[in-house]
Amino acid sequence: MRANIGAAHNSIRVLGLDPALAGATGYGVVELEGTAARMLRFGALRFPSRADFSARLREIHQMVAELVEEFAPDAVAVESVFTALNMRTALKLAEVRGVILLAAAQADIPTRSYSPREVKASIAGYGGASKQQMQQMVKVQLGLCELPEPADAADALAVALCHAHAARVQVQISRGTKLNRTTAADGTRSLSRSHLPAARIPIHR
């Protein structure tokens, strides 16, 4: 695994995934170094309409395993199941997410799930942003020349960016907490020393 955002290079690489049941499963790999984000790869895995469900699961697992092996991400970020789906669809989509999480776990890569609203709020600043708005914001943040297509791939890039930004903020908070604790500890030690009784200097007569 690569050195994560807490390392000296202050960079993080994330594989984002937008799992789908009927449509394409989007994927995107981004790297955030400091405040600069760049795209390493994106795309979508699409199946024939009559493809067997077990075959879909197998192909998605293989795709994620290959992406993890090639890019060695610090984390895998996945869009969570949309709660408004009917029970049967939600359960099948959960199975798709399951094989994604399995592939990450087999490579010992930590995973994190984000709801669609969380991703939209992080990238577009608005939890109800449209797909077109999300594509535009992903294009801008990654410095792409064109809108990322298909929309499933753009969603996956957005999920990856969402986690990268969240991880950076968490590191900054952690560093600030450690600094405050160190400063407080140093102040306590100085205060303690200032209250020590003065050493007596013997007077020789």
Express each pLDDT in 72-104 by its tens digit. Answer: 999 999 998 766 568 888 888 999 999 999 999
pLDDT interval class at 191 (50, 70, 90): very low
- Sequence length of the chain is 205
Q: What is the mean pLDDT of residues 95-120?
A: 96
The Cα diameter of the chain in Å comes to 106
Closest CA relative to residue 151, chosen from 28, 15, 63, 13:
28
Which residue's structure tokens are 């890019």? 71
What structural domains and CATH numbers belong to the chain? Answer: 11-167 (3.30.420.10)
Contact, 31 vs 38, CB < 8 A?
A: yes
Q: Which residues participate in catalysis according to the annotation? A: 18, 79, 152
If DSSP codes are grouped into helix, strand and coil, which group holds residue 111?
Answer: strand
Edge-to-edge order in the sheet of strand 25-33: 36-45, 25-33, 11-18, 75-79, 111-114
Lowest model confidence (mean pLDDT) among 35-39, 78-82, 134-138, 145-149: 78-82
- Distance (Å, whole) CA 86 – CA 160: 26
Mean pLDDT value of segment 115-122: 95
